Amino acid sequence: MTVNLAKGQKVSLTKDNPEIQRLVVCMGWDVNAYDTREVFDIDASAFMLGANGKVADSRDFVFYGNLAHTSGAVVHRSDIPTNSGDDAQIIVDLMLMPDNVLRIAFTATIYDAEDRGQGFGQVSNAYIRIIDEQTNTELMRYDLAERFSDETAVVFGEIYKNNSEWKFNAMGKGYQGNLAALCDRYGVEVG
């Protein structure tokens, strides 16, 4: 049964399901019909973070330019099933997760947003949901109800490790500055 979350809520992913190995993190959104004069190019990313809230290495940033972490623990899926309704899917294999990774932040950014005059205020029905890949069961869903305006990057939520348990935190936090702002926040050197 799906757990529906509100902003700031946290839920365990493994407490009642300790056998879960692979999760499918699905993200979706709609661009408001009256704002389609320019093409919206929204990209999903995952930042694999250590205890300090930063990546240990730029390879811990999984996005369209780096589709898989070297461990195989986080993989950006490019072949999304057409019947899913999702705009992006990222596979997380908890058994392959490096010991130094304690959080994975899931984000979306609008490519070239400043030049096109775009922001998440023009996007609606954004969500993140997590599926147990083995059983194809939706474990939780967070529908972002926030009213964004000119933010060009959003952290939808994060999976984090608390002792031996993996949990999800519904965040819905917006940023200006697009992908560069998130890279700066999470310690990815851009250059």
Q: Digits of tens for pLDDT over the chain (191 positions)?
A: 789 999 999 999 999 888 999 999 999 999 886 655 677 889 999 999 999 999 999 999 999 999 999 999 999 997 777 677 899 999 999 999 999 999 999 999 999 898 888 999 999 999 999 999 999 999 999 999 878 888 999 999 999 999 989 999 999 999 999 899 999 999 998 76
Is residue 116 a part of any domain in this protein? yes
191 in a domain, yes or no? Answer: no
Query: Which pLDDT score is estimated for 40?
Result: 84
Number of domains within the chain = 1
Maximum distance among all Cα pairs of the chain, rounded to whole angstroms: 48
Whether the Cβ atoms of residue 108 and residue 29 lie closer than 8 Å to each other:
yes
Residue 125 lies in a domain: yes
What distance in Å separates the CA atoms of residue 132 and residue 134, rounded to the nearest whole number? 6
Check residue 36 and give its pLDDT. 57
Whether the Cβ atoms of residue 157 and residue 170 lie closer than 8 Å to each other: yes
What pLDDT score was predicted for residue 146?
Answer: 79
Q: Is residue 114 part of a domain?
A: yes
Whole-structure pTM value: 0.94
Which segments of the chain does DSSP mark as H helices, in order? 113-116, 178-186
- How many helices and strands in the chain, by DSSP H and E? 2, 12
The CATH number of residue 156's host domain is 2.60.60.30
Domain of 46 in residue numbering reads as: 3-186
